[in-house]
Amino acid sequence: MLNENQPPSKSLGDARMMAVGQEIRQFISRQYAKVGPVLNEKAKRLWAGATALELGYGGVAAVSQLTGLAPNTVRAGMRDIQDPEIQASPRIRRPGADR
C-alpha cells in the first residue's frame, strides 16, 4: 500500500544519474546543445559513448537523459569508440543496417 507521506521511489536510472554531479550534467547539456545539431548519427553515437566512458558509473544514464539518446545508443557508442575499425570506417551504419 502506498504511503502518501513517502516520496515516490527513484528508478535505478535516476539513482545512477545522480552519481554524476550537477555541474558535469550542466556541462554535458550545454556541450550537446552546441554540437549535437551538426553531428551525424555515427558522430553522435561516438560522442555519447566517449562521454559516458569518461563519466564512469552512471554515465550511460546521465548521457541518455541529458541528450535524449536511447541508452542502447549510448552503449553502442561505448562499444564503437573502443573499436578502431568502426572509428576509421567512413560508414555511418554497419553493413546491413541501412534503412
**Per-residue pLDDT tens over the stretch 27-63:** 999 999 999 999 999 999 999 999 999 999 999 999 9
10 Å CB burial of residue 89 (0-12, 13-18, 19+) is middle
In degrees and rounded to multiples of 5, residue 83 shows phi and psi of: -115, 105
Q: Which of 64, 60, 61 is nearest to 78 (CA)?
A: 60
10 Å CB burial of residue 87 (0-12, 13-18, 19+) is exposed
Give residue limits of the domains in the chain: 13-88
- Across the range 18-22, mean pLDDT stands at 73
* Percent of the chain residues past pLDDT 70, beyond the cut: 67
> What local confidence, expressed as pLDDT, does residue 48 receive?
97
Are 53 and 79 contacting, i.e. CB atoms less than 8 angstroms apart? no
